[in-house]
């Protein structure tokens, strides 16, 4: 599945990754900030899919996925395009993951953001 807009000549790829470990009841906030000024197109926001976890995605302080969705936009093992019109980020993309279990051992969550700077 293709996303729009497609990258033009001179586009610079974005591949931001992070890994967090959460105890039951904890949350993690992963922030992606661009290195250059301009519009950054983000068609893929992926996170580890785990039961009893919630996911929220904000772009430039505007909620774009969630809040507290029981599934991520896509799993890191799939990296499927989830935003057919790519999200447009100017200053910050934030992924919030919550482990909503009451008990249990810690779990690891991976995050992978894919896009390009134009």
Task: Give domain 12-117's CATH number out of 1.10.287, 2.60.120, 2.30.29, 3.40.5.
Answer: 2.60.120
In this prediction, the residues of the chain whose per-residue pLDDT falls under 50 are none
Cα Rg, the chain, nearest whole Å: 14
Q: What is the predicted pLDDT for the residue at 2?
A: 65
- Give the length of the chain: 118
pLDDT of residue 30: 98
**Exposure on the CB side of residue 33, measured as CA atoms within 13 A:** 5
Domain ranges of the chain: 12-117
* DSSP track, 21-82: EE-TT-EEEEEE--SSSS-EEEEEEEE---TTEEEEEEETTEEEEEEEESS-SB-TTT----
pLDDT at 5: 82
Q: What is the pTM of this model?
A: 0.93
């Amino acid at each position: 599945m293709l996303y729009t807009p497609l990258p033009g000549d001179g586009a610079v790829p974005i591949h931001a990754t992070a890994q967090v470990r959460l105890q039951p009841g904890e949350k993690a906030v992963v922030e992606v900030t661009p290195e250059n000024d301009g519009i950054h197109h983000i068609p893929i926001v992926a996170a580890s899919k785990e039961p009893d976890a919630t996911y929220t995605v904000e772009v430039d302080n505007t909620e774009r996925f969630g809040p507290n969705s029981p599934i991520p936009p896509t799993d890191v093992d799939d990296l499927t395009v989830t935003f057919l019109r790519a999200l447009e980020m100017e200053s910050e993309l934030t992924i919030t993951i919550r482990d909503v279990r009451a008990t249990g051992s810690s779990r690891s969550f991976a995050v992978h953001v894919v896009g390009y700077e134009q």
